[in-house]
Amino acid sequence: DTAVSQTPKYLVTQMGNDKSIKCEQNLGHDTMYWYKQDSKKFLKIMFSYNNKELIINETVPNRFSPKSPDKAHLNLHINSLELGDSAVYFCASSQRLLTATDTQYFGPGTRLTVL
């Protein structure tokens, strides 16, 4: 069984649309994350989240919002998509409450293309 899964794997959409990427982890971890891998290949943290605290990277536009229906899921909603949102988005999880030294387990990524 895949530890951290994301759907869809590929997402192609028009500018201005609203879309969601789903993430699920079956590791029983407390904390989940969303990363964006930009065109220069840097992996940049967007959000760190558990059921008590959300840490938002200040550079993330408020068009992006994480939504967690339960501890095992952290979905990423994006409103009014822009061309610059095209990237690969990775979900990840770790055992403890937002402790950066804990090993993070990544999903396979979702390649978003905005036309």
Partner 1 sequence: DQQVKQNSPSLSVQEGRISILNCDYTNSMFDYFLWYKKYPAEGPTFLISISSIKDKNEDGRFTVFLNKSAKHLSLHIVPSQPGDSAVYFCAATDSGSARQLTFGSGTQLTVLP
Residues near partner 1 (CB under 8 A): 4, 33, 35, 40-45, 48, 55, 57, 90, 92, 98-101, 103-109
> From the CB of 106, what's the least distance to partner 1, in Å?
3
- Minimum CB distance to partner 1 smaller for 79 or for 106: 106
The CA–CA distances, whole Å, from 101 to 35, 39, 46, 94 equal: 16, 26, 17, 9
> From the CB of 26, what's the least distance to partner 1, in Å?
15
Handedness of CA 80, 63, 58, 38 (dihedral sign): negative
Amino acid sitting at position 106: F
CB 45 within 8 A of CB 37: no
- Minimum CB distance to partner 1 smaller for 65 or for 106: 106
> From the CB of 4, what's the least distance to partner 1, in Å?
7
- Minimum CB distance to partner 1 smaller for 16 or for 84: 84
For the chain, report the end-to-end CA distance as a whole number of angstroms.
34
